[in-house]
Amino acid sequence: MSQKPRVCGIICEFNPLHKGHVSLLKAARENGADFLIAVMSGNFVQRGGPAMFSKWARAEMALACGIDLVLELPLPWAMAGAERFALGGVSILDSLSCVDFLAFGSESGDSTALRRAAHAVLSPALAAETRRRLKAGCTFAQAREQAALSVCGEETAKLLRSPNDILAVEYCKAIETLGSPIVPFTIRRTGAGHDQHTADPAAHASSSQIRALLAEGREFSHWMAPEAAEIARRELEAGLAPVTDRSLEQAVLARLRTMDPAEFAALPDVSEGLENRFFRAVRTAASLEELWFSVKTKRYPLARIRRLVYSAFLGIPGEMERHPPYARILGFRRSAEDLLSLIRKNARIPIVSTAAEMKRLNGTAREILDLEAQASDLYALGQPRVQPCGMDFTRKLLISETTDTQLSSNI
């Protein structure tokens, strides 16, 4: 290419990739993207738990549906709250030194309002009011929304009520915090909302609805892009999916029963004696659901408890780097080799794809990579046909020969 291509970043889980995601990819192309880069969670995801399909299967779905390059969001950021999840993804994209805009869905569909809200959230006055309300016993989400209403007014507060708007604000906040030139670009989310289900065959189903259908062994393919559904069926037939909480339940409980209060206290975001609640609950809990609801309180919502449980299982330490120190390639389209050359030339962090490159990492980067590999080994225990250890170092890089940039029209 004689001039720099226009590059769009997308931070995602694709758990699994559905028609709403395809609409976002299509909108990004229409906004002028020559290349689409996905920074995607690995085998464990932000809600706290395993992805239903492995990171390699989901990367393959992404490449089949229009993504040009899939990078892995490392575990300590992939399985974190919205702020850290967003910062990790934006940090990787910014470090590539070639991404022009970040595309994401939101309930509001208003990039300007989201950027204003992000700027407001960063203000000292709102931060102080949030801390005051936290001390009064509110959850973080409640405290920040109420603080925004008090300090900034309803326009900002309403953007901190819906899950995709909250994440969108965090993306914009990360861009501002990093001083990144990346421009946020949002489309309005349509169809079923986060964790909602729809019976309308013409609507876009949520990822949670598709996961429920998969877990129940029911037909799911109508709600997915045909290319992604074909890969999903192949993984199911091969005994490589689905992976659920139930798949890993005994392994998780076994690990937690060996821990003492000090080990629970060292987990990310543990405070105010929560380690003692965990220690007592795990002594008697016979299931993950029983454990979650034994520890959950008004102050500590379920998503936070789920993340803490899986952080304990996977050995994620409480103190971690603020920004991902490397980017791992899971797969790319052959037609994106110019993009890869551009990234390798300009990136400010190591870009790794082979076992040899991964083993050359050192310090914190190597520690995080080893943590990721260990998480994949534990994930493999939850696959219906249990897989061996070492897949992170032995699995071949995905290279798609797809050259068609036209996304599936069956949406």
Locate the domains of the chain by residue range.
7-117+185-197+204-243+323-400, 245-314
Summarize the annotated binding site for ATP as residue ranges.
Answer: 11-24, 105, 164, 189
83 phi/psi in degrees, rounded to 5: -65, -50
Within 10 angstroms of residue 361's Cβ, the number of other Cβ atoms is 18
Torsion angle in degrees (nearest 10) through CA of 256, 260, 262, 266? -10
pLDDT at 279: 95
Q: What CATH number was assigned to the domain covering residues 7-117+185-197+204-243+323-400? A: 3.40.50.620
pLDDT at 114: 97
Strand partners, 329: 71
pLDDT at 410: 43
Summarize the annotated binding site as residue ranges.
Answer: 11-24, 105, 164, 189
Taking only the tens place, the pLDDT of each residue in 36-72 is 999 999 999 999 999 999 999 999 999 999 999 999 9
Residue type (1 letter), 188 = R
Strand partners, 41: 73
The CA distance from 390 to 392, in Å, is: 5
Both tokens assigned to 81:
């709250």
Task: Report residues of the chain scoring pLDDT below 50.
Answer: 192, 405-406, 409-411
Within 10 angstroms of residue 389's Cβ, the number of other Cβ atoms is 14
